[in-house]
Amino acid sequence: MTESASSDRRERITREALRDGTLLALARAAMPPGTIVRSDAEIEADLDRTLARHPPGADVWLFGYGSLMWNPAIHFAERRAGEIYGWHRRYCLWLHGGRGSPENPGLMLALERGGSCGGVLFRITAAEARSELLLAWRREMFTDAYHSRWVTARTADGLVQAVTFVANRAHLRYAGRLDEAAVATRLASAEGSLGSCIHYLTATLDTLHAMGLCDRSLERLQRLVGTSLE
């Protein structure tokens, strides 16, 4: 079934679904047996530990490098292009739901050590920081596949400290360093309740280009995926 043919039955990551817990409940139910799933209290505790390392009363920046860039589902006061150093974007987490299935797993982007990564920074006002970041935490941190990290981002208007999500290399979903051909094969065929891996890749690249950024690795993958579909 094509993505367009089944689009009316797709789940969607929306602000409302994150606020009322609908998306979180669906995600938890779809996790493979043995997956560690955090409770609501554990998610909030992780967020509070992260915010405790941030100056009280200051606005908070969130760095997005995948779907957060083009579908943040949060309220923000400002958006900027930026680049972080010491981390790079890589397809390194298996997806058995969302944009994959147990029979045909997809792959998800995460940050790994080394290199640099361009992305989108969202400034959230101090008054709304916890409530808005909680939506991002419910979206990204309901398992322990990611760790939250503070990073320094370079923007046209100077350096900012931002929070983001990096890969947990000890997690059972961690795929390691797959070669590009293997990644492209997964991206070309995998899809699930949120859509296809191809759409995720295309939307990520389109957003980077619109913000004046590039990612040569993702561009190579896009070409490889196109070749595999010919």
Every domain of the chain and the residues it spans: 7-229
| Range picked from 23-32, 78-87, 221-230 for highest mean pLDDT | 78-87
Give the separation between CA 117 and CA 84, rounded to whole angstroms.
5
When the pLDDT of each residue in the chain is averaged and rounded to a whole number, the result is 92
- Report pLDDT for 230: 61
Length of the chain: 230
- Report pLDDT for 37: 83
Q: Where are the alpha helices (DSSP H) in the chain?
A: 15-19, 22-30, 40-51, 67-70, 129-140, 180-189, 197-210, 216-229
Tens digits of residue pLDDT in 11-60: 789 999 999 998 888 888 777 777 778 899 999 999 999 999 999 999 99
Average pLDDT, integer, range 169-177: 93
Q: How confident is the model at residue 10 (pLDDT cuts 50, 70, 90)?
A: low
Dihedrals phi, psi of 134, to nearest 5 degrees: -60, -35
CB atoms within 10 A of CB 173: 22
Smallest CA-to-CA distance from 95 within 202, 187, 207 is with 187
Average pLDDT, integer, range 125-136: 97
Of the candidates 3, 103, 128, 140, the residue annotated as catalytic is: 140
Kindly report which listed range (5-9, 95-99, 172-176) carries the lowest average pLDDT score.
5-9
Is the pLDDT score of 87 beyond 70?
yes
Is the pLDDT score of 3 beyond 70?
no
- Report pLDDT for 1: 31
- Report pLDDT for 48: 97
- Report pLDDT for 30: 74
7-229, which class in CATH?
Answer: alpha beta
Average pLDDT, integer, range 175-184: 95
| Annotation marks residue 83 as catalytic | no
Average pLDDT, integer, range 200-219: 97
Q: How confident is the model at residue 7 (pLDDT cuts 50, 70, 90)?
A: very low
- Report pLDDT for 35: 74
